[in-house]
Structure formats: structure tokens, C-alpha cells
Structure 1
Amino acid sequence: MITMDPTANARDERIRKRPEDYPGANLSNYEDFIGKFAWDQARALLDGLPGGGLNIAYEAIDRHLKAGRGDKLALRWIARDAKIRDFTYSALGAQVNRFVNTLAEHGIRKGDRVFSLLGRVPELYFAALGTLKNGSVFSPLFSAFGPEPIKARMTIGQANALVTTEAFYRRKIEPWRKELASLEKVFLTECSANLPPDTIDLAAALAQASEVCETVQTLPEDMALLHFTSGTTGKPKGAIHVHEAVVAHNVTGKLALDFHPDDIFWCTADPGWITGTSYGIISPLTNGVTMVIDQAEFDAERWYRILQDQKVSVWYTAPTAIRMLMKTGADFAKRFDLSRLRLLASVGEPLNPEAVLWGMQAFGKPFHDNWWQTETGGIMITNFLAMDVKPGSMGRPLPGIAAGIVEHLEGGSVREITKPMAMGELALRPGWPSMMRGYLNEEARYKKCFVNGWYLTGDLAMRDSEGYYWFVGRADDVIKSSGHLIGPFEVESALMEHKAVAEAGVIGIPEPTAGEVVKAYVALKDGFTASEALRKELLGHARQRLGPAVAPKDIAFRQNLPKTRSGKIMRRLLKARELGLPEGDISTLESEER
């Protein structure tokens, strides 16, 4: 049973759940579970390799084959034209083995770095798992990247091999390939009759390769994944993850996404980003569920039909996609039979309370927000299936994760703040299996993330008296106005409560007296038109909702807000454009629409 329990204080509003209504939930009694949890127990859920070894691909595929589960559907791929290709665990394993043998045939060995530049096609999944089974390092690139961000990441990562399409190669890599001496092999998909020089037709190579191979012996601390993340300035950072990360991928899938063997799971994130790898490949496969993969880009009706026709039970998506669905209205969702949906989850940026509650209108279930970073490798804080949801909250830490709010002291040290709802930097005690092991070739930058036994996330947050965490903003996004510290997320969420607002981005503008004043940028829902009257109405709405000290002093309308390709609103870019400042690294920018 799910019931609403609103109070005068918006942060006390909650969607109440009774644990007895979720008898099959993997985590129903939070306090009891965290008191008993240990990472050694999570490791024991996996098979491992002889001699203390561990390999992500073995746990995702071979372990299931060994246990006689090869006939189970592992991956259902839906092409743009709606044609379907199914891969059982056995069939997927055979293709993975073909890829391993292809790498070996062409001299790609343990420790070599294999990059992928592919859309959501089956070959991407063969490549990811095959690279890991080969003992090589897998590094995914987002297929919409242009030549420069691709070149930067492959240069930093010292790529030894690349898997991409012929069209991408000719347009994005061939012009500069000779500048990267480490790049030995390029495997191409969707090949023409005239293959580019010094490239390999992957389909032909796979067809000739054996379906049988052994997993290359890897140790838990061997490098497995290299994920790039962009800072506000400077070059991309290559976050190093090891095979031990699979321990967290597996158990957080059970606890945060409540995976059960009979689940049909759809993660809409592209594997070019860490969510699409950790929870779009590794976590569901290690848990033995069936994954749905859609090649096409977002389309509301298509998405609802996939949820309906594929009988999706666990759905993991992003706030940007949810807001786009909200534009179509809750009634549109109700045209489809979505009764199989058990858990709706969101990640990528904080989920506004309005979006959480909209889930109740459209699906009869809330969206469950969670928080993590490229650097953490896996989900750290979440709203659990059988636990009350406080709309706007990130939830509570996963078992095995010790989180806190810290303040910075003179001299560079930090200390924990225990007062409820005090603002500070969100920090984690190191030691979980999927924690990054470094930034590639940037040891000093990595060490700066750790102070006084804490990993500092760079996010400002608050923790309430029940242990729920509330996102405020990136540390460099917080607005200081007349002595007040204003979190942009709170202002954006208040604006989104207005019926006309689809998206909002908030920044601080320098002002001589106050230091900074709040300015908001707003994208409107379909059916609403920007006007001076609407601007004044939104200013009044925000002032009434937030009070004069926090509400924006100005609102500008935009058709679209600048976002990263993973859906995060780029506040720093709004500020740079407003003030005429350098834009910094914009390699992850979705578009240039203003």
C-alpha cells in the first residue's frame, strides 16, 4: 500500500510504504539489514576465479552457464525499425567468446585498452564483455561525441584498440588516427565493400572465430574499466575501476533496484556513460535478469509501448527523460498497460519532487531517486522499494556505505556535521568495492579527493533526522546572496511545480550589494508561450514558494537548456554565457541551443 502523507513542511512530505506490502523485497527492514551487512557477504554471492581471481565477464555470463541457466533470455535488442533480436545467456556467451578470440588473434592482450564508439547495438555488448573476459580494459565513448573529445579521451587512455562503425571511423577518427601511436587495431561494424586501410571487418572476424575460450585470469585489483568524466574546466579525467567493482555492481542491483531472477529490466542510459555500463550491462547480467535494449532515441509513445509489450518490471531512467514524458501528460501514460512495472528508478541528476509525485499520477508508483558518481562506480544512496519516499530526497545510504556531511576547516581539513539539515559537503568513507582506484596518470588530482578519512564528492547536501540525504548543488554552483547560501536545485524544483515549467536552471549573478542574486532560466511545456505576464507570474510563484531571500530576481525563457549528453543541466555554462566567461570543457554538451 502506498499512501501520501503531506505536511506543512515540504521536506516532511512523504510517500508512505508498508514493508509488509513488499514481502519479496530484497531489503525491507533497513536498520536490521545494515546492522548485519558486510562486503564479504556480498563477495560470497559471486563465484570468483581459481586462486583468488575475479573477472566481471565471468560473473556476468559464464557463472550462469556453469549453473545450467544458459537457455534463459539475457538480452532482447529492439532495432530502430522495431525488429527484435534475442540472445540467451548461452548465445550471448558464444558471441562474447568470439570477440575474445578475435582480440587474441589480433594481438590484444591482458591490460591493453579497448575503446568502443558505438550506439546501442549488440556488438557493443559483445565488445564490453569480451574485452573484460580477455583481461583487457574497456573504455566506452558516447557515440554522439565529435572528433576532438574522442581524440582527447583515447589519447589520455592510450587506446590500443577501437571498435566503431565504418561511418564513425571515416568521419571522427581516420583524419587523426596516425597521431595516436598506441592505436594498433580498429575493428569496424556496418562495413561497406571498400574497407578503410588498416581496419578489420568485425563481422567477418567474429564469423571466423571460435565460440570457445577460457577467461583470462584476472585479480580483483586488476584494472577493468576506464570511464571518463568532465570537470568544470580542463581536460577529461579517466576514472579507473577494477574487477572488484563487480561485487558492488551485483549487490547494489539486488538492493537498490531490487533485482530478482524473473525481472525484465530496462536501463535507458547509453553504455557510453557509466550508468549504461554498470547498470545497463554488468549489474543486470550478474543478477541473471533479462535486459531490454532499445536502439532508437527517445520517443514517448515508443517508450510506453516497450514498457507495455516487453512487460518491463524494473525501469531505470533519467530525470531529463522523465520530464520529457511529463510534457505528454499522465493521461497519455494511462493508455498503456504498465501493470508489470514494479520499480521505477532515476539517476543522472537530482530528481525534482514534482517528477517523483508525477510518477504516482501516471503509474501509481513514485520514481525512486538515487545518487552516485562516475568516481563511486555504483549506487551509493537510494530510495529503497519498501521504504518511505520523501520526494526530492536522494534517500539513504546503501548497506556498506558510510556517508556524512562535512564542513571544511582552516588548514584544509574537514570534520563531520551531525546537526540535522545543516548544509555541507557530502562525503563517504572509502573502502567500497566499486570505488575508483585513481584518475589515470593524475595521482595528485586523485589524492585531493581524500581528506581526514573521507572521500569528498564535491556535492553539497543536507541530512535530516531520519538519515535521508538532500541534494543542494555542486559546491561551485551554490549561490551566496546577502549572507544566505542558496542551493540551485531547491529553486529549480519550486519553479517546476508551476504548470507551465518543463525545466529550470538557476545560477548566481554578481550584484554589488548582495554579492550574488538568483537568476533562473526556464523552458516551458508544450502549450505555453513565453511572455512578460508569465515571467511575472513565475516570479510571484517562486517568491510565494521560497520567500524573497531565496526566490529568483529575474527569469529568462529558453527553448532548451544546455545539458550534458547524459542529461545534466550545465549551470556553469549558463553562467559563463551570462557573464561572458570562458566556457571551459564543453565536450559533453548535448547541443548548442540557447
Structure 2
Amino acid sequence: MMTRTSQVAWRPDQQIVAQANITRFMREHGIASYEELIRRSTTEIEWFWDALPRALGVEWCTPYTRVMDTASGIPWTEWYVGGTLNITHNCLDRHAGGVAADRPALIAETEDGQLTSWTYSALAERVSRIASVMRGLGIRRGETVGIYMPMIADVVTILLACLKIGAVAIPIFSGFAPRAVAERLRDGGARLLFTADYGLRRGRRIELKALADEAAAMTPSIKHLVVCRRSDEAIPWMVGRDMAWDEFLASGTPMCETEAMASMEPAMLLYTSGTTGKPKGTVHSHAGALIQVAKEIGYHFDLKTSDRFFWLTDIGWMMGPWMIIGCLFHGGTVVLYEGAPDYPTADRLWQLVARHHITIFGISPTAIRMLMREGVDRITRGALSSLRILGSTGEPWDPESWWWYFEQIGQRRCPVVNISGGTDIIGCFLAPLIIKELKPCSLQGPGLGMAVEVWNEAGQPVREEVGYLVATRPAPSMTRGFWKDPDRYLDAYWSRWPGVWNHGDWAYIDADGHWFLHGRADDTIKVAGRRIGPAEIEGALMEHPAVSEAAAIGVPDPIKGEAIVCFAVLGRQYAPSIELSEELKRVVVSLLGKGDRPEQVLFVTDLPKTRSAKIIRRLIRARYLGAADLGDLSSCQNPEAIGAIPSRGRT
């Protein structure tokens, strides 16, 4: 029987296939089908990762002499040995000095409606000014620089300026509290920190300078704090350390030499959210990050120079640098938005699409579920006519939300390029190509060059069975260890199966070869010896029209080992009741079976989430079980939702 995820929802027409960037690559290499492409790119990895930078047009300062070297072990594979290059040269300098000089590179809109737009030549000059002042402050290649900024235009210039001079950028989530900021700055050893006087969120000012001052006070290495002033209002100031943005920029020069960086020299430290223990600093190189991201946005998202690319993200999440680097490499236009997706009205993002003629649009499933609550009354069909590709990442989809995104936003003509990877690879293990059909909620298959499998507990490949997502061969963008902590890196990814990267996600391949995710393996609920991912239960709950969001956790049970407890956010027209709770339990049983019947379904007004709208299940579980210490709360953008979670025994 066909279900809402087993049927094919979207098929490319002949024109889409003919004009796709990946089709050109296939023709150049005599590849006749999607299946052959994936097979060759994931089994002949040395051939693929050699052919790829040439096909993309990556410019090297010094050509590499060898594609890969595993002499130090698979976890420490060296890539593009002997080569030198620079991300900023490839993303900016070469465009500013060529035919793209007057093409728009960046459009940025703040929550209060302020617009900034720069061409490639204007962006390049501004980046050079910033880079030259940084050099004047003594920042040299290999030194780290913190970026604690809202998603305003100059977050792009600062990132590219760091990379231009060979400094290692540390982008930090603008919603973090001072302690979380300081943890990352101290670990990275940053001497320079960029911030702003404030950010905006739902019409409220977030006093970033004051927060940055607290973080700097806990970070002895910080010697300089550059403040992007958005108003003339008085703010705390430390003479000798703090520098005003306008003065900083004015003291720079419009030309600044770009450093030639060895292929594997660090470009960025991207820290994980620190949900447990010390945040992990993943290390990403100039060649690895550039080539992986350029591949994904050029081939999986099919970006053309005429495209305008937007992703709802923050500079501190992987998708921020990923979007900036990938889009600019291909000469497209990056669109940034600072603020909440539903402020001041629920159609803010759809207004953004219309205003800036966005063609490629990315968001998380949870953010879509939030926007679904408002319905489609505010969405004007013509406003979304510029869209040609939809993107998503961050967590598994439920069918109802996926179909809403596909039908109401994409109007059934835009493929949903659902990708999944992580901060640790600054890219994707799984990613669709628009030359092949798509099933709802699926990720279609392996990303180009990503040798992934689904394994069971015994380390054997499985089909039509949920298992561990693993990578059996290395890729250039895999983190170069954890900053100052190589043993933790080996333990996190390489300890379960020698020479195999264990990514920590549950995945599933159906009978037709389409791949699906089922959440994090460490979120898995084990009921009477059987494992189930919370996303499956949550998706079943959201099949009921009353439920707009859901979270499922496992709690200790003396008989079953764990019992399932669910938390549901209802649509506005529904009210909590015992009857509805029982009805939702029956829905789960009808869709998944009696073994997955929730012990309880509890109603809440909101669920704790990250700024990128991922539900934080560990906080829900800790709160429900009455933990005295909830751990690191820095990644939670709505901590008030934690307090609304009922404790066990008081429900």
C-alpha cells in the first residue's frame, strides 16, 4: 500500500536535467545515470576528489601533487598534498577582478527593515580594509579571531577578512550567553573579538556589547574588541581595548594581499552546541571546507550566477559559513536576514522571498511546523514565484510538514533538497540531486563522494532496517580533529569501528533505495529491547490534525527498560483534554504498533529549541525527570519553555 512517504512526490522534467550543473559534470566524465555517478564518486574516491576541484574551477596558488595521503591513519588523512589556496580568493577576489565585479554579492535585511547591498567589487574592498587593519593589530596566519555578531551584512566581511589573511575564524552563535561565548574564545585562544552594540529579535534589543564584555572578562587572551555600532547611544567602553567599527574600517586600505594557505591549514573552528560537556571545536581547512561546500551548493543545490540564496541560520551555526562560502564561490547572491522568522507577522520570510526575488530557500522542519500554525492565508502565491529550489536540514521531517512545505511554499514545482551532515564535516553525508525523483521526507541518497552506509550493531550493512549512519571512507571536509583534543575526536567518531566514521545518526534505506533519517542515535528510545527513534513517534503524533509540534523521550521503566513519554503542542483551535491524550496514543499505535504506545501524552505550549529551531530533547528529559542540573542551556533560545515542562509525578 502506498503511504505518504513511499510515493514519489517530485520528478524532474527533461529541461531541469539538461540544465543541471551536475549533468555537465556527468557528460565530461562519460557517466550515464545517477546510480553510476553515486557509485563512482563513493567508490573511486581518489578519482572523484581529484576531478571535482577542476570541474568546479577552484583556483590554486600552488597546484597539489597528490590527492590524498593516509600514511598517518584514516582519521588523519591529508588531502591535496602540496597545494596552496585561499577561500577568500576563490569566493571574492577572483570575482571582484573579473566579469562579476558589478554583480550583487550580498543583500542583508535586518528585523527593523534596514537594507544593505554590495557588489562583488564593493565587498572585496571592504574585506580588504578589515583585513589590513587586522594585520596592523598583529593578527597573523594561524591565530584565532572570534565573531560574535548578529546576521548583519558585516558578518560576511569579517569572516572573509579573517580567511583572507590566514586567521582562523571562530563564528559564535549570537544567542549565546557570556559563559558559552567565553568557553569558545578561551579554548580557541582568541586575541581579537568582533561584536555589535546590539542585535534584534522579535522587536527586542539584545545588548551584545554588554554580553561580549562579560565574555571578554572571562577570556584573558582577548586584547582587542571591535564593536559594530548600529546607533549613537552610549554603551560601556574600555579605552585601549575597544575599537569603534567606523574608525576601525576607515583606518584600513582598499587593497590587501591574500595569504596562500596550505590545503589543510585551518580556516575555521566551528564549535558544537555543547549539549553535554565541553564544547568541541571542529577544525576545518581551506581546501576541505571550500571544495565540500562548493560541491554541495553547486551540484546538490544547482546554484547559478543568477540565483539568490537564503538560509534561515546564524553565523554561529554551520549553515551560516556554509551558505556564505558556497554561494559566493559560484558567483551568486547571498541573502541574509537578522531576526525572527515570524516577526512582526507570520509571513515575514515569504515577504523576504518576494522582496529580494530569492530563488533558493532553506529552513529547518521545526521552523516550518511553527509557520504552519498560521496557515496559508498570508501567503500570496505570486510572492513565491521566484523560488526554484527548497532546502532543509537539521532534523527528520514528518510527512504533514514536508507536504505543506512542498505544496504551499514550493507549489509542487520546487524540489525539497533535504540534506544532512553536520558541523563536524561542514557539509552533508546525505543530499539529493535534482536530476532524480524525490520521495517525501527523504534525503534521496549519499552526497557526492561521501561513502556512507547504514550498519547494524554488528557492523553489517542493512536495508529496510534502521541502523547507524557510517562513512566507510574519508572525505576532505571531515574535521581535522578537535581543537587541542585529538583523543576526544578519535573517541567520538572512530572508536566503535576502526577506520570507519560513526556519525551518530539513525538512518534507513527503503526498498527503492531512498534514504531517510530517524534522528540521533543517542536520542534513541529502547522499549523492551527494541530501539525506536523519537522522530518516528513524533511524526506519528503530528499525523493528527490537533498536533503542530511534538517531542518524544524515553524514561526509565522497571519492566520495559524505557517507556515513551510524549509532549505535544496543539494548534490554536484545539484544547488539552484527557480524551485527546488517549486519542493521540491510539494514533501512534495505529501507525507504529502496540509496542510504541506512549505511556503518556502531555500538553505544553512550547518546546525548548535552539535558534535554528531544533528541539532539545535532552532538556525535556532532564526537566521531566527532575534533574537538579539541566546542564548547558546556552543553545536554548526559549528557556522559558523548559520551565513549562511538567516534572514526572506532577503531571
Regarding TM over 0.5, the answer is yes
Answer with 71-80 or 110-119: which moved more. 71-80
Is the counterpart of residue 39 in structure 1 residue 32 in structure 2? no
Distance 1:453 1:132 in 2: 31
Select 2:86's aligned residue among 55, 80, 92: 55
Amino acid in the other structure paired with 1:587? S
- Please show how residues 50-89 of structure 1 align to structure 2 within 5 Å: 50=62, 52-89=83-120
- Please show how residues 158-557 of structure 1 align to structure 2 within 5 Å: 158-166=189-197, 168=207, 170-175=209-214, 177-190=216-229, 195-197=237-239, 198-244=241-287, 245-279=289-323, 281-299=324-342, 300-362=346-408, 363-365=410-412, 367-409=416-458, 415-417=459-461, 419-448=462-491, 449-450=493-494, 451-557=497-603
SS at match of 1:564: coil
Is the counterpart of residue 588 in structure 1 residue 641 in structure 2? no
Contact 1:256/1:379 (<8 A) preserved = no
Deviations 1:238-282 (A, max 9, x none): 111110110111111112211111111111111121111112x10
Answer with 56-65 or 364-373: which moved more. 364-373
Distance 2:417 2:100 in 1: 30
Contact 1:228/1:239 (<8 A) preserved = yes
Amino acid in the other structure paired with 1:373? G
Contact 2:34/2:435 (<8 A) preserved = no
Amino acid in the other structure paired with 1:42? L
Contact 2:38/2:446 (<8 A) preserved = no
Deviations 1:313-355 (A, max 9, x none): 1111111221122112234324543112111110112222222
Deviations 1:71-116 (A, max 9, x none): 1110012233323221000000011001101101111111110111
Q: CA deviation at 1:425?
A: 1.2
Contact 2:104/2:117 (<8 A) preserved = yes
Aligned residue number for residue 120 of structure 1: 151
SS at match of 1:68: coil
Is the counterpart of residue 24 in structure 1 residue 19 in structure 2? yes
Contact 1:355/1:367 (<8 A) preserved = no
Deviations 1:133-153 (A, max 9, x none): 010000111111111111111
Distance 1:204 1:182 in 2: 23
Is the counterpart of residue 111 in structure 1 residue 142 in structure 2? yes
User: Which ranges of structure 1 fall in alignment gaps of 5 or more residues?
Assistant: 1-6, 410-414
Q: CA deviation at 1:298?
A: 1.3
SS at match of 2:523: coil
Q: CA deviation at 1:21?
A: 4.7
Change (3 A) 1:214 1:560: same
Aligned residue number for residue 561 of structure 1: 607
Aligned residue number for residue 204 of structure 2: none
Distance 1:517 1:49 in 2: 58
The alignment's C-alpha RMSD in Å is 2.0
Contact 2:97/2:121 (<8 A) preserved = no
Deviations 1:186-207 (A, max 9, x none): 1111165674322111221212
Distance 2:84 2:513 in 1: 37
Change (3 A) 1:434 1:19: farther
Q: CA deviation at 1:214?
A: 1.1
Distance 1:161 1:341 in 2: 39
Amino acid in the other structure paired with 1:574? I
Amino acid in the other structure paired with 1:239? T
Distance 1:68 1:209 in 2: 26
Change (3 A) 1:104 1:226: same
SS at match of 1:92: helix
Contact 1:305/1:336 (<8 A) preserved = no
Distance 1:185 1:541 in 2: 57
Distance 2:90 2:145 in 1: 20
Amino acid in the other structure paired with 2:303? F
Amino acid in the other structure paired with 1:426? L
Contact 1:250/1:287 (<8 A) preserved = yes
Aligned residue number for residue 68 of structure 2: none
Answer with 500-509 or 125-134: which moved more. 500-509
Distance 1:522 1:550 in 2: 16
Deviations 1:547-579 (A, max 9, x none): 211132310011111112222111111111121
Q: CA deviation at 1:173?
A: 3.2
Amino acid in the other structure paired with 1:427? V
Distance 1:156 1:545 in 2: 47
Answer with 439-448 or 531-540: which moved more. 531-540
Distance 2:274 2:505 in 1: 13
Q: Work out the number of aligned pairs and report it.
A: 581
Q: CA deviation at 1:441?
A: 1.3
